[in-house]
Amino acid sequence: MRWLGSAVLGAGVALFSCAALTAAVSETVGWNLKFNSSPSLPRGWYVRSNQPIARGGLVWFRLPPVMADYVASVPGMAAWYADPENGLLKPVAAVAGDTICRDGLAFSINGHVVGTALPFGPSGRPLPVWSGCRRLAVGEIAVFSDRIPDSDDSRYYGAIAATAAVAYRPWLVEAGR
């Protein structure tokens, strides 16, 4: 039994050392790591990127204010939304010059329907709705994930300010789609 205690202690020291090293390296080289557990992107760690925000890239951002009432109505989500460390990681699907539209439940980019909005969230409460078409101005982006049908993305809140988003890239993520 004595060896079991030593093994547990050794594993604990190793885990603590790895965490401390990651934190130290993160501070030293300016990494900003985010863990994604949402199925809208592969599960894993994402690191802040020095690349400009561009179509096809990934961004982290705070949920737009238009979603605040919905989030406040979902048990457990209000506290999550209030924490400034929490946000979303999403693929950039449209940039300045692109046109995004919401016609009923259809969400399109540059005339191509890319997804369908859901009328209600998992809690049964109505999701925010916007309608019409708009050409994105300089400094605006739209985010969209086709990995899951209920991704919290631009089909519910439209464009977001690029200044409110930070570019990220995968670091240690699950393989697959």
- Measured CA to CA, the distance from residue 68 to residue 56 in angstroms comes to 27
pLDDT of residue 122: 84
Count CA within 13 A, CB hemisphere, residue 64: 19
Give residue-wise pLDDT tens across range 107-155. Answer: 999 999 999 999 998 888 899 999 999 999 999 999 999 999 889 999 9
Domain that holds residue 4: 1-31
pLDDT at 12 over 50: no
Shared domain check, 59 and 114: yes
Give residue-wise pLDDT tens across range 63-105. Answer: 898 888 888 888 888 888 888 888 999 999 999 999 999 999 9
Shared domain check, 94 and 24: no
Q: Is the separation of the CB atoms in 113 and 107 below 8 Å?
A: yes
Model-level pTM?
0.80
Q: Comparing 104 with 1, which gets the higher pLDDT?
A: 104
CATH number for the domain spanning 91: value is: 2.10.109.10
Number of domains in the chain: 2
- Nearest CA to 44 out of 52, 54, 36 is that of 36
Shared domain check, 148 and 113: yes
pLDDT of residue 133: 99
> Residue 167: is it exposed, middle or buried by C-beta count within 10 angstroms (0-12/13-18/19+)?
middle
Shared domain check, 14 and 39: no
